[in-house]
Amino acid sequence: MFDANDIDNCFESLHAHFGQPTAWRAFPDVAETLLGLEQQGIEVLVASNFDERLHPICDELPELRPLRRRVVSASIGWHKPSPHFYSRLIEIAGCPASQILMVGDDQENDVTAAGASGLRAVLINREGPVTVDAITDLRQLIERVTPAGIP
């Protein structure tokens, strides 16, 4: 445990805690969505403003284990919403920006910035409503995305 009045110790404790896979859980729709997309021949990458702690977290959480390719801001030296982050994501994905669908929960960092870099983007807003540019459940991607492209 830590004393919240000791800011440095508090930060170090929280930083260590959130580096542990046991501090995290995946939403219930993650595993089914990843499997459904994989069955369609669609590769999913992680693109995150996290740091190197994300790798062991993904390796340990069963739902995230299949996500082997990860674009982590601390590793590439740029974070969202920087166009450099998205340029590196496109490079790592190895396909044109128009073939990438960015799904994220932050309008500015994940949707607006991705769109400005030529990617298609959709907001996941678990509170609703479902719109052309927003979903409430990742499983909705299975219907929207096909190997032939992103509608």
* Residue boundaries of the structural domains of the chain: 27-144
pLDDT tens digit string along 112-148? 999 999 999 999 999 988 888 899 999 999 988 876 5
Cβ contacts of residue 66 below 8 Å, gap of 6+? 34, 38, 44
Distance between CA atoms of residues 65 and 85, nearest Å: 23
Q: Structure pTM?
A: 0.88
- Residues near 63 by Cβ (< 8 Å), separated by ≥ 6? 26, 30, 31, 34
Running DSSP on this structure, what letter comes out for residue 83?
H
DSSP 99: G
**In this predicted model, what pLDDT tens digit does every residue of 33-75 receive, in sequence order?**
999 999 999 999 999 999 999 999 999 999 999 999 999 999 9
Per-residue pLDDT for 3 more than 70?
Answer: no
Structure-token pair, residue 68: 């082997």
Write the CATH number of the domain with boundaries 27-144: 3.40.50.1000
Alpha carbons 17 and 20: distance in angstroms, whole number = 6
Task: Please identify which residue in the block is written with the tokens 């046991």.
Answer: 22
Q: Give the H/E segment covering residue 128.
A: none
